[in-house]
């Protein structure tokens, strides 16, 4: 007897010796959820009260965890900001990897950055930039952020290309793209954040292409 058209399709068998990707366990998912809750609570308080005025006890209370639990995830308030930045960098790299394979590297970087900033709240981004600018400890962390972001760009661009021979080109594009984020962001703030962030991304990359002609 023929199988019904509505019968669910069977999953294709995995190649011999290949294991299915491991799914995060319940304990791991709960840890990730708590970490995200702490990060969101901390960033909201930093923007509302200021970095210095916000205590670790404030963050723990807002996230509904104990002070001791906070230190299971972060060593300091500065580490929370660094984690927030790393999450943003990971999202940006994911955008790069998802760009069409035939798209030139510089264009892929521009489009990935533009797509990522569209999901950013301009008011919150501007407030966070001012917060970092006015705090020496966060300024020092910000320097490291750009170094990590550049390395992440290289890995994302190389992964997208799939060719090791493109690594030098990926490093150069990563350096340019990271500089564009830094200089473009500072200019966007300096001009009073009047334009949408993605508009400023296009303007910055247009200037880069003009220089490279």
140-166 pLDDT, tens digit each: 777 777 888 898 889 889 888 778 788
What is the percent of the chain with per-residue pLDDT over 90, rounded to a whole number? 27
What tokens appear for 36 in the block? Answer: 């995200």
pLDDT at position 63: 94
Q: Quick check: 157 and 93 in contact, CB under 8 A?
A: no
More confident residue, 15 or 178: 178
pLDDT at position 192: 65
More confident residue, 193 or 20: 193
- Residue 121's pLDDT band, with cuts at 50, 70 and 90, is confident
Digit-coded pLDDT (tens) for 78-113: 888 888 777 777 888 888 888 988 899 999 999 999
More confident residue, 4 or 160: 160
pLDDT at position 2: 44
Question: Collapsing DSSP states into helix, strand and coil, what is residue 188?
Answer: helix
List the Cα angle 106/111/116 in 5-degree steps. 125
Residue 41 has pLDDT above 90, yes or no: yes
Give the pLDDT mean for 3-8: 42
6: which residues sit within 8 A by CB, 6+ positions away? none
Cα separation, 86 vs 88, whole angstroms: 5
Q: Domains of the chain, with CATH numbers? A: 26-74 (1.10.10.60), 76-212 (1.10.357.10)
Q: Give the position of tokens 């003009």.
A: 210
The radius of gyration computed from the CA coordinates of the chain, to the nearest angstrom, equals: 21
């Amino acid at each position: 007897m023929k199988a019904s058209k509505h019968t669910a399709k069977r999953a294709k068998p995995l190649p011999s010796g290949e294991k299915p990707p491991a799914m995060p366990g319940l304990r791991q998912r709960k840890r990730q959820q708590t970490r995200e809750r702490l990060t969101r609570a901390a960033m909201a308080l930093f923007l509302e009260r200021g970095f210095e005025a916000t205590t670790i006890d404030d963050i723990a209370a807002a996230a509904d965890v104990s002070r001791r639990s906070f230190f299971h995830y972060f060593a300091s308030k500065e580490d929370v900001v660094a984690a927030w930045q790393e999450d943003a960098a990971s999202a940006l790299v994911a955008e790069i990897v998802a760009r069409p394979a035939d798209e030139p590297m510089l264009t892929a970087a521009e489009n990935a950055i533009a797509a990522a900033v569209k999901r950013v709240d301009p008011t919150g981004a501007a407030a966070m930039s001012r917060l970092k600018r006015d705090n020496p400890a966060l300024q020092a962390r910000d320097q490291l952020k750009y170094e990590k972001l550049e390395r992440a760009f290289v890995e994302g661009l190389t992964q997208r290309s799939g060719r090791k021979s493109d690594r030098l080109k990926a490093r150069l594009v990563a350096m340019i793209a990271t500089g564009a984020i830094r200089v473009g962001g500072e200019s966007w703030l300096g001009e009073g954040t009047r334009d949408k962030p993605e508009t400023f991304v296009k303007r910055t990359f247009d200037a880069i292409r003009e220089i490279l002609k």
